[in-house]
Chains A and B, each alone.
Chain A
């Protein structure tokens, strides 16, 4: 079965610096289909050259609605594909609830970070309403949070 591939991208702005666990981006499945997260990256979105600053981000698996998200429509990587069934969200302005942590990573603001799954090792979002995987900060940083993250997924 050929999967359709999509991208969600969004910027997490400095307004949320005080929320230690504010969500940056999320991939949410629906009861109709699973989502397979196969690549994600994050890098500074600051207009000026970023200074040395470490950010701690983590992937978290959620089963219920968490945070206050701005909807982000997934863009098909193949323009012939129909719209995605899964939905995206960016720039949550509220701290999410605790749930299963899937990964913790630190990166320098001047460097960015990219992770790619080996085929068949993607993170799976179950086909249930409100189930999602989100990327969020796990600590308040000393700098100004202004990072752009991208999720690439298939369904």
Chain B
């Protein structure tokens, strides 16, 4: 779940209360930590070119699992551990905690 290459993982909708316009967009998700962000390539490019204020947020792609990555320092430090692997590891760890070893 969550690993959809570079495709969106969901959609959102809200409204601009001043103009009354509906605001829709798509979200992308980090294939490692699961962080989700609003996908706005045009704003990111405009920031990169200095056309609008704000620091461009660096996202990327993992060439090990070929999933999108959020680029957050804590996530990058973790390396390539796909999100579902982390979930399965957590479940296995919890199951093994209660086991009794009979020798």
Give A residues with C-beta under 8 Å from B.
31, 34, 36, 52, 59, 61, 63, 100-103, 105, 107-108, 110-118, 120-124, 126-129, 131
Q: List 19 A-B contacts (CB under 8 A).
A: A61-B34, A63-B90, A102-B35, A108-B15, A108-B16, A110-B17, A112-B15, A115-B12, A116-B11, A117-B9, A118-B9, A118-B10, A120-B1, A120-B4, A121-B1, A121-B4, A122-B1, A126-B94, A131-B90
Tier of interface size on chain B: 20 to 34
Q: Which residue of B lies closest to A128 (CB)?
A: B94
Contact of B90 with A114 in the complex, beta carbons under 8 Å: no
Contact A118 B11 (CB under 8 A): yes
Cβ of B87 and Cβ of A103 under 8 Å apart?
Answer: no
CB within 8 Å of A: which of B3-47? 4, 7-17, 27, 29, 33-38
A103, A112, A124, A126: the one contacting B36 at CB < 8 Å is A103
B34 close to A118 (CB less than 8 A): no
Residues A103 and B17 in contact in the complex (CB < 8 Å), given A113-B12, A115-B10, A131-B90: no
State A103–B39 Cα separation when bound (angstroms): 12
Q: In angstroms, how far is the closest chain B Cβ from the Cβ of A29?
A: 9
- Per CB-CB distance, the 4 closest pairs between chain A and chain B, nearest first, are A121-B9, A128-B94, A110-B17, A111-B15
The answer to whether B1 and A36 touch across the interface, beta carbons within 8 angstroms, is yes
Residue numbers in A under 8 Å from B94 (CB-CB): 31, 126, 128-129
